[in-house]
Amino acid sequence: MRMHWIVVRIYSTWLVPARYHLEMGCMIHIMRHKSTKPFRLLHKLGCNGIPVLLALFLFGCDDSGADPAADLKLIQQAPAEDWQSECLPIGNGRLGAMPYGTVDAERIQFNEDTVWIGDEQDTGSYQAFGDLLIEFDASQQPVAFTDYQRELDIGNAIQTIEYQQNGIRYRREYFASHPANVLVFRLTADRPGAYSGTLSLKDAHKGTIGADGDEVFFSGTLSGKHSLSGKGGEPNNNIRLDYEARARVLHEGGSLTGGDGALHFENCDSLLILLDGGTDYVNQREQGWKGEHPHQRIMARLDQAVATSYDELRNRHIADYQSLFDRVRLHLGDSPEGAAAMSTRERLDAYRGMAMEKPKDWIGYEKKALNLAGGRADPGLEALIFQYARYLMIASSREGTLPANLQGIWNNSNNPPWRSDYHTDVNIQMNYWFTGPANLSDCFPPLAEWLWSVVPVKREPTREAFGARGWAHRAENGIFGGQTFKWYLGDAPWLLQNIWDHYAFTLDREYLETRAYPLIKEQCQFWEDVLIEWPNGKLVSPKSQSPEHGPMMEGNSYEQQLVYNLFTDYIKGSTLLDRDADYRAKIASMRECLLGPQIGSWGQLQEWAEDRDDPNDQHRHLSHLLAVHPLKQISPSTKPELAEAARVSLSARGDGGTGWSKAWKISMWARLYDGDRAHKLLREQIHGNFFSNLFSFHPPFQIDGNFGYAAGVCEMLLQSQTGVIHLLPALPAAWPSGEVKGLKARGAFEVDLAWTDGRLTGVRIQSLKGQPLSVQYGGHLIEALPTKAGRTYTFELHEGELSKL
Ligand code: FUC
C-alpha cells in the first residue's frame, strides 16, 4: 500500500526529476507519519528494506532530463511583428538571435557580444550586427498557411516554428550552441523538394557583403561614432573593431548556387544553416583592446560544426544547456487546466484579466491603473518567468563572454535605449543578483572579468576628479572602460557586492585571491582617500548624488551603506586569506567611524544625512534601502528598528515603478519577510511590465526586470545573507504548496524545499564545502551544525520545531 503511494508520488510530482521525487516524497512521507528515522518507515513497509532500497536506487538512476509535460514553453501562434515584444530570443552567451520573419520570408536578427563602438573616453554603444534573410520562392505569390505555432522550449533551449502550407508541413528548428559556439538553423518539411528560394546576410553597418560556394558573409570595420556621443564635444571613438559574420549552408536534395551576394537554393528537402560572427575585441587594455581578426576563428568553428552531424550538434547543445538549467526545479502550485498549452500572450491576458492587442498597447501600460482583481491566478506562469530568467542568463552570459548588458545580448539598433550598455547605478548589479541563489554561478565570471578589464582605464580620470587612488564609475559604462553621465561614488562598491557574493556562494578561493580581494582592497583605498571627517568624528562620503535623485550632498545613505559593506567584506576577505593585517585593522577602525543609518522624523530610513525625505516621493530608485537588499546589514532578525524604518520608507515609495524597480521591491519586501507584499509586487510586475515574449520592460525592453524578478523569487523562498539559511522567509498565501530543488545558499550549500498548506514539509541541504550550517524556519533556529563536504542533511518539522533527521 505505501509502496504504491511512493510510486504514485514518483509520477505525480511531474516537475521534479525522479530521483528527487522519490527522496522528497519518501522524506515527506516519513514526516507526515511522524517517524524520525527512514528505517522506521522501511519497517512499516513490512519488508526488510532491501527491496525498497533497491527500488529507491533504481528510480534514483532514472534522471532523464526534462519531463515532457513540464510548463517550460513560450508559445506564440503568429509570426513576430515587433522585435522587442514578440520575438523569442536564443543565445549561447556570445551570439544571440531573434527570429522575426514570416512564413514566406524568414528574417533572423543576430548579435555578437563584442560588436561595440566606443573607446576609453566614451561609453559608446552596443551595436546591432546583422540579419539572416531567407526569401522563399512562395513569397512571390503568398499562399495561405494554417496551424502556425512558434515555440521556445526553455527545457532544452530550442526554438521551433511549424506551419502547414500547400499541403506541406514545414518545421524550423533553431538553437544557439555553446559547445559548437555557432548559431544553428534547420529547416525541414514532410515532403521532398519543398524549399526553393534565396538566402543572404544583411550587415547592420556598411561592410562588404559576399557569397562564395556554400557561404554568405559580410565584413568591415566599426568606425565613426554612435549618435549619442556627439553631446559635449567630439568623441574620439578611436578604437575601431574589425568584424565578420558568415553563414554556411548545407542542403539535402536539390541544388545550391551562389551569386550576387546571395545563395539560391532549388527544390531542397532541408536546409541547415550555421552562422557565426565576431570582432577582434579582446578585454585587454595593454593590447589596445584588439586581438586577431575573427576570420580564422569563424572558419575553424564553422568547419568543426559542419563536420558534426546535426543530431550530435543538437544533443551536445541540449546536454550543455541542461547541465546548468536542470539544476533548479520550481513548482509554485497548480495552474488552471490547459494554461501551459496556451499561447503566452493569451496566458498573460488571462493572468491580467485584460487583453493587449498590439505591442504599442503595452507602452505606458505600466503607469495605468492595475486591476489585479480581474486576472486569474497562474502559479505556473510565475514559475515559468523565473525559469525564463535562468534561460536568458545562460543565453547571454557564459565563461569567456562579456556580461549581460541592459538587453542581455539582444539588440536590433545602432542607437539602442541607454546605449544597451552597463549602467552601474543599479542595472548591471541587478542582472547578477540571482546567479548565486539560482544555481548559475557559472554564468557570473563575465561580470568579474569585465570589471577587471575596465578598472585600469578608470584610475586616471578618478585621480583627476577626486585626487584619489582606486577607481570610481560614472553611471554609463562600455567595454573599453569609457564612461559617461554622472559620477556615482557608490557604484563601484555596489559592483563589489556582486563580486563578494560570488565568492560567498562558491567559496572559490582562487577567485577570492585573484579577483575579489584585489578589487575590494583597491576600492578601500579610494574610500580611504575621499572620506571626509565631520567635526563629530563621523566619516562621510564627499558630495555626490543618491542615484538619479535629489541634490549633491555629503554622507548619502547610498555611499555610507555601501562603504560599510565594502569594509566588512574586505575585513572578512583579508582574514580568510590571512593578508594585510595592518591594513585590515585600519579599515576596521574606519568602519567604526562611518556615519550609520539614521531614522528620520516620520520613522523613515533617511536617504540623506539630513532629514529631508519627502513621504510623497515615489522615485524608482531605492538607494537608501540597499542595506536591506542586496546588502546584508539591515534585517528584521538582526536590526529590527532599522528594518521597521526601511519598511516605512519602502511603503512610502509605493508599489509602482519601472520593470526593474518593481522587481527590486519584490526582493526588498521578501527581505522584510512580507511574502504577500512581495507577491503583490511580483504580480504587478507581470501585469504591467512583461511583453508577450516575456521580456520585461522598463519600458522599453530592459533585461534587469527579468533578472531582478528571479532574484525576488529566490529571496521569497530562501535567504542566507546574515549567515543563517532561512527557509521560506517570505512565502505568500498565493503559493500554499510547492517545491523547489537546487537553490543555493551562501557558504556553498544546495537546498531542496517542499511545503504544503503554507508549512514547510521537507528540507534537504547538501553541504558542498563542509561549512558549519545554521538553519532557520520561522522563529526556530538550529545553529552551527558541523557538516562534511558532499553530505546531504535532512530536517523535519515536528510540532513547529525544526530538527535534523
Ligand atoms: C538607470 C535607471 C533608469 C534606466 C537606466 C538604464 O539610470 O534610473 O530608469 O533603467 O538606468
Distance between CA atoms of residues 718 and 589, nearest Å: 33
- Ligand 1 site-directed mutation target among 418, 473, 485, 546, most atoms within 8 Å of CB: 418
3-class secondary structure for 729-773? CCCCCCCCCEEEEEEEECCCEEEEEEEECCEEEEEEEEECCCCCE
- d(CA 14, ligand 1 centre) in Å: 40
DSSP secondary structure code for residue 514 in this structure: I
pLDDT at 53 over 80: no
Asked which of 344-353, 483-492, 644-653, 786-795 is least confident by mean pLDDT, the reply is: 344-353
Digit-coded pLDDT (tens) for 759-800: 999 999 999 999 999 999 998 999 999 999 999 999 988 877
- Which pLDDT band, with edges at 50, 70 and 90, does 654 fall under? very high
- Ligand 1 site-directed mutation target among 548, 558, 618, 619, most atoms within 8 Å of CB: 548
**Whether the Cβ atoms of residue 85 and residue 98 lie closer than 8 Å to each other:** no
Digit-coded pLDDT (tens) for 473-530: 999 999 999 999 999 999 999 999 999 999 999 999 999 999 999 999 999 999 999 9
- Which pLDDT band, with edges at 50, 70 and 90, does 359 fall under? low
User: Could you give the residue ranges of the DSSP H alpha helices within 271-372?
Assistant: 295-306, 310-325, 344-352, 359-362
- Which ligand 1 atom sits closest to the C-alpha of 698? 10
Taking CA 65 as the corner, what is the angle to CA 770 and CA 72, rounded to the nearest 5 degrees? 105
- Ligand 1 site-directed mutation target among 427, 473, 474, 703, most atoms within 8 Å of CB: 427
DSSP secondary structure code for residue 104 in this structure: S
- d(CA 663, ligand 1 centre) in Å: 13
pLDDT for the residue numbered 615:
98
- Which ligand 1 atom sits closest to the C-alpha of 660? 10
**Pocket around ligand 1 at a 6 A CB cut-off:** 406, 418, 423, 425, 427, 475, 548, 620, 658, 660, 698, 702
- Which pLDDT band, with edges at 50, 70 and 90, does 119 fall under? very high
Taking CA 705 as the corner, what is the angle to CA 701 and CA 707, rounded to the nearest 5 degrees? 120
Digit-coded pLDDT (tens) for 262-291: 999 999 999 999 999 999 999 999 999 999
pLDDT at 51 over 90: no
- Which ligand 1 atom sits closest to the C-alpha of 548? 8
**Whether the Cβ atoms of residue 428 and residue 702 lie closer than 8 Å to each other:** no
- Which ligand 1 atom sits closest to the C-alpha of 417? 6
- d(CA 670, ligand 1 centre) in Å: 23
- d(CA 238, ligand 1 centre) in Å: 27
**Whether the Cβ atoms of residue 164 and residue 147 lie closer than 8 Å to each other:** yes
- Which ligand 1 atom sits closest to the C-alpha of 475? 7
- Ligand 1 site-directed mutation target among 698, 706, 707, most atoms within 8 Å of CB: 698
* Alpha carbon 400 to its chain's center: 17
Residue linked to cell 549633491: 552
For 803, half-sphere exposure in the C-beta direction (CA atoms, 13 angstrom radius) is 10
Q: Mean pLDDT throughout 739-748?
A: 98
- Which ligand 1 atom sits closest to the C-alpha of 661? 9
What's the mean per-residue pLDDT of the chain?
89
Q: Mean pLDDT throughout 405-420?
A: 97
Nearest CA to ligand 1 atom 8: 548
- Which ligand 1 atom sits closest to the C-alpha of 547? 8
pLDDT at 364 over 70: no
- Which pLDDT band, with edges at 50, 70 and 90, does 468 fall under? very high
**Cell numbers at residue 541, please?**
562620503
pLDDT for the residue numbered 800:
73
pLDDT for the residue numbered 36:
31
- Which ligand 1 atom sits closest to the C-alpha of 406? 6
**Cell numbers at residue 458, please?**
578608470
- d(CA 541, ligand 1 centre) in Å: 23
pLDDT for the residue numbered 3:
28
**Long-range pairs, 213-216, Cβ under 8 A, ≥24:** 213/258, 214/248, 214/249, 214/250, 214/256, 214/258, 214/263, 215/246, 215/247, 215/248, 215/249, 215/258, 215/263, 216/246, 216/247, 216/249, 216/258, 216/261, 216/262, 216/263
pLDDT at 300 over 70: yes
- d(CA 433, ligand 1 centre) in Å: 17
- d(CA 701, ligand 1 centre) in Å: 12
- Which pLDDT band, with edges at 50, 70 and 90, does 323 fall under? very high
- d(CA 427, ligand 1 centre) in Å: 7
- Which pLDDT band, with edges at 50, 70 and 90, does 212 fall under? very high
Which strand (E) or helix (H) includes residue 473?
A: strand 473-477
- d(CA 654, ligand 1 centre) in Å: 18
- Which pLDDT band, with edges at 50, 70 and 90, does 143 fall under? confident
pLDDT at 320 over 70: yes
